[in-house]
Amino acid sequence: MSHLIAPSILTANLLDLRAEIEMINNSDADWLHLDIMDGVFVPNISFGFPLIEQIATVSKKPLDVHLMIVDPARYIERFKECGADRLGIHLEADIHLNRTVNFIKKLGMRACVVINPHTGVFLLEDIIPEVDQVLVMSVNPGYGGQKFIENTFSKISTLKDLILKKSSKAIIEVDGGVNLENAQRLITAGADVLVVGNAIFASENPRLTISRLKSL
């Protein structure tokens, strides 16, 4: 498949969020990425259910929701009700990962497992046949605009090998410090979905930046 672009609204202008989402609706972007932070699992707080519900009424793109929260299984049904199409949970935050992944799928969402920069790909070996996608964090989660971690390229290649070895249908998503300078290398390494925040919303022409990322 052709690679997908998922703008992350974490670095968007939240005071003019409707306009930012309309820009994404009219762009070549494929998904809208939402980072949910609780101030416990990561040292930051973003936004919650009321805003997600409002975003779902405006967005024409599928909502790719990334939970950076403790005990994410408590809220699976609530995020479905809010309009999530894809739900990502951290391997590091869920001690019953198989059960949670299958519950996400039972509710009709795509299930994504997220791994932090320090988490080894080998820990996904048992769950990889069950998931729809794996999100590889290429920065330490919690804040937008961080510097990309170079080891991510080899980590994606290792993950791609594991997916093939296990005959999994999972796609690979990468999030953190993604921009026009490293996007092609990520795609070559095996990334299917690029989550891009600051490189889009801080650019002079966000729609053009999305188009350039999409055309790589």
> Active-site residues: which are they?
35, 175
How far apart (Å, rounded) are the C-alpha atoms in residues 64 and 69? 15
How far apart are the C-alpha atoms of 120 and 105, rounded to whole Å? 24
* C-alpha–C-alpha distance, residues 116 and 136, integer Å: 7
Whether the Cβ atoms of residue 162 and residue 128 lie closer than 8 Å to each other: yes
HEC profile of the chain: CCCEEEEEHHHCCHHHHHHHHHHHHCCCCCCEEEEEEECCCCCCECCCHHHHHHHHHHCCCCEEEEEECCCHHHHHHHHHHHCCCEEEEEHHHCCCHHHHHHHHHHCCCEEEEEECCCCCHHHHCCCCCCCCEEEEECCCCCCCCCCCCCCHHHHHHHHHHHHHHCCCCCEEEEECCCCCCCHHHHHHHCCCEEEECHHHHCCCCHHHHHHHHHCC
Amino acid in the structure at residue 44: N
